Amino acid sequence: MKLTIYHNNGCRKSREALEYIETKGYDVEIVEYLKTPLSISELKDLIQLLKINPMELVRKNESIWKENFMDQKMTDSQLIAVLIENPKLIQRPIIKSVTNAVIGRQMDNLIRFLKSH
């Protein structure tokens, strides 16, 4: 099975998830989303596969969020635009298969996801 990981090499959790996936022998495509930003349609597709709303994808402890966006009321479309413009705000890592996706920040989530495939 082919997986895609939306990866930030500067993040320990993302590196751990990638290493785990590779040690399990999965064919994995690595998308360094800070270097190659997602399009609006790619991000919308990921949100749909994750079965979450856009706010659940936001890293709310980031200073960019706290200083610029935390107190704003935004529609889902506006929030997606903020995430596209500020990819550092996107939770990581995200691991995607053809049929669904998971935020792999907690290793247990990643392990359950892989077992379900």
- The CA distance from 9 to 34, in Å, is 9
**Catalytic residue list contains 11:** yes
- Among 27, 28, 2, 13, CA closest to 90: 13
What is the maximum span of the chain, computed from C-alpha positions, in angstroms?
A: 44
**4, 11, 42, 97: which is the annotated catalytic residue?**
11
- Among 39, 21, 2, CA closest to 93: 21
- The CA distance from 12 to 45, in Å, is 25
Q: Give the residue numbers annotated as catalytic, written as ranges.
A: 11
